[in-house]
Structure 1
Amino acid sequence: MNVYQIMKDNNNDSNVFAVNITTSSNDVMQLLEQGFEGIQTINATSEQEAMELFFNSNASSVMMSTSSFLTEDTKVIANYGIITSTIVSGTNIFRDMLAGVRDIVGGNSQTYMNKLEDLKVQAMNELKKKAVRIDCNAIISVSIDTEEISGQGKGMLMITATGTAVKVKER
């Protein structure tokens, strides 16, 4: 396990990277002198893992709304454009058989409903991670689209979450 310092370029907020300070703390000092800022220290086995942990931990603070605003107390100060997340998952034969029975006898397929809900949560989480990667703290005008992809006797579910990545501040 190594210790990584997550660094941010003060001239470009979306330029975030990890520096292994277990092996070279001089790198961090040089970056600080060049105008970079250390924003978090993370224990990880690799630079990639450190960055993933950083994005995952910060994604939970990203606000989301299906409308073009969040609250009356927030103001959009920067718009970073549209971001999209797509999750595709195969259905299995048992789920298909249970759904087929539901088609015949009627009623909701709780199995498919649970699967769709799980995929929706995954797509929303990926959308939040993308927002963090470009230094946004909110996503507005969020929409979710559900599709079924089928062919050659196989079925898959696809969920696409789309929104506008923005930076907001309290008024």
Structure 2
Amino acid sequence: MHGSIRKQSSKYRQDDYHIFWRRFSKHSDNKKYRVYSMNEMKESGFTLIELIVTIIVAAIMAAMMVQVMGSNLIKSSIPVTDTRSSLYINDIMERMTADYKRLLATDNTPLKTFKSYVENGNNPKSNPYYGDYKYKTKYIRFDSDNMEDINPCTGDCKILKVTISYKGHSLTALFTK
């Protein structure tokens, strides 16, 4: 062995070049020759082709996600809005019911007074103001089959049917003397 040449381990040493040592049996002098690799580039980083392929794959996946998630994201607020509307209309009906219970104890004609409250309760200038809603009120009676009579009640009516609606939700309650 030559003094300046050291023996390579089984793994290649990383320098600027990969150095390979070979013994060529053709040569009678049994000398060692250096063979340099053809690719002298550093192998860190990505090639342009790899980057383009990655961008294309990411774009295709993003397009698929938009197709799947797009309509779900846009319509995701609908259940929240429906729930708010439902809670709002329930709150209005609870306040109406509380006012009617108070009228039963204090008023001589509670159904008549309550009907005017309901019919004017969606006007912000009226007292009481229940909120923004649409209403239908009518006095009703029941027939012998316990069904609502199709003829309107006249005279001494004891049942007031109140239906309030807000943004597609409606709620009906019966108030009696």
TM-score (norm 2): 0.22
More strand by share: 1
Larger radius of gyration: 2
More helix by share: 2
TM-score (norm 1): 0.23
Structure with more relative contact order (C-alpha pairs < 8 Å, separation 6 or more): 1
